[in-house]
Amino acid sequence: MSLPTPEDVQAAARLLAGVAPRTPVLRSTTIDQLFGAQLYFKCENVQRTGSFKFRGAYCALAQFSEPQRGKGVLSYSSGNHAQAIALAARLHDIPALVVVPHDADVAKMEAARGYGAQVVTYDRTKEDREALSQRLALERGMSVVPPADHPQVIAGQGTVALELLQDFPRLDYLFVPVGGGALLAGSLLAREALGSDCEIVGVEPEAANRARQSLKAGHPVTIAHSRTIADAAQATALAPLAFDIIRSAAPPMPSATDAQLLDALRFFAQRMKLVVEPTGALAFAGARDGGMDIRGKRVGIIVSGGNVDLARYARFLSD
């Protein structure tokens, strides 16, 4: 597969017009005062399926040929991409199967079923999800659309940053959560498409800092079984396509601990009345606790998702 381009991000934005809502950008006087900066929260937690993932999934399935549409799509995910593929497949009238960890967030798994996808579970400590997915796809003749290693997925995810930088072109920083790397790679392409000088910053869980390790090593580094509450950022490695884009830009890569993520979740709930999942709080936690001096700056924060089991969310807020 060839690398996506800045023009692909712009084409994805045109494709998504009228399909993926242009999500709101919220402000908080309290947080601006605490930071001594102006923060702009891009709320993808209210996107269709509850996360930015719908953008990339829809764009990828839009490229399917008629034979591919008839056979169906297969993907693997910890939850958000599964939901996104399920809904995008329904909108494109394509059968869908998603491979999900058996211990995935229950709300995410049920949502994928609710959108019409068949859900197959696996044990992430014993089974290789990509090998399982490839075997199932071969048996059923389905096309695989991975969560990050796909040019149209990356281009679609880049429309989040594209919208934010169009609405607020004078941002100094944009903090982006990092799992498989598609959102960060797409954000870098969006910046290039607009000719912006905004500095893009990737934020990942401290226990799963594969991107930072990969940039240091010069190749994708695998972390097989990371333990973090940021379940949507537990990809074992950066997607190769995303890594190539990220490596060229070499953005700053601070990380956040689980304790810092919990503090961020409480802030969103108490001060901004937003339900945010742990991975969705990564960018904010990185801006607040990642050691970068943002005083006096205009700072974009991508709130990437809000899909969290309510019982689990209640424990997060009370811990």
Q: Is 53 a catalytic residue?
A: yes
132 burial (CB, 10 Å; 0-12 / 13-18 / 19+) is: middle
d(CA 157, CA 102): 26
- In three-state form (DSSP H/G/I as H, E/B as E, the rest C), the secondary structure along 6-28 is HHHHHHHHHHHCCCCCCCCEECC
Task: Supply the DSSP string of 201-220, one letter for each residue.
Answer: EEEEEGGG-HHHHHHHHTSP
Handedness of CA 16, 9, 54, 138 (dihedral sign): positive
Residue 318, token pair as written in the block: 């009370």
Asked if residues 268 and 41 have their Cβ atoms less than 8 Å apart, the reply is no
Question: Could you tell me whether strands 118-122 and 143-144 are parallel, antiparallel, or unpaired per DSSP bridges?
Answer: unpaired
Q: What is the side-by-side order of every strand in the sheet holding 38-43?
A: 25-26, 38-43, 298-303, 173-177, 199-205, 255-256
Identify how many contiguous H helices and E strands the chain contains and give both numbers. 14, 10
Asked if residues 223 and 234 have their Cβ atoms less than 8 Å apart, the reply is no
Residue tagged active-site, from 78, 133, 143, 196: 78
Residue tagged active-site, from 51, 53, 108, 226: 53
| DSSP 8-state class, residue 93 | T
> Coil, helix or strand for 39?
strand
- Residues with a catalytic annotation lie at 53, 78
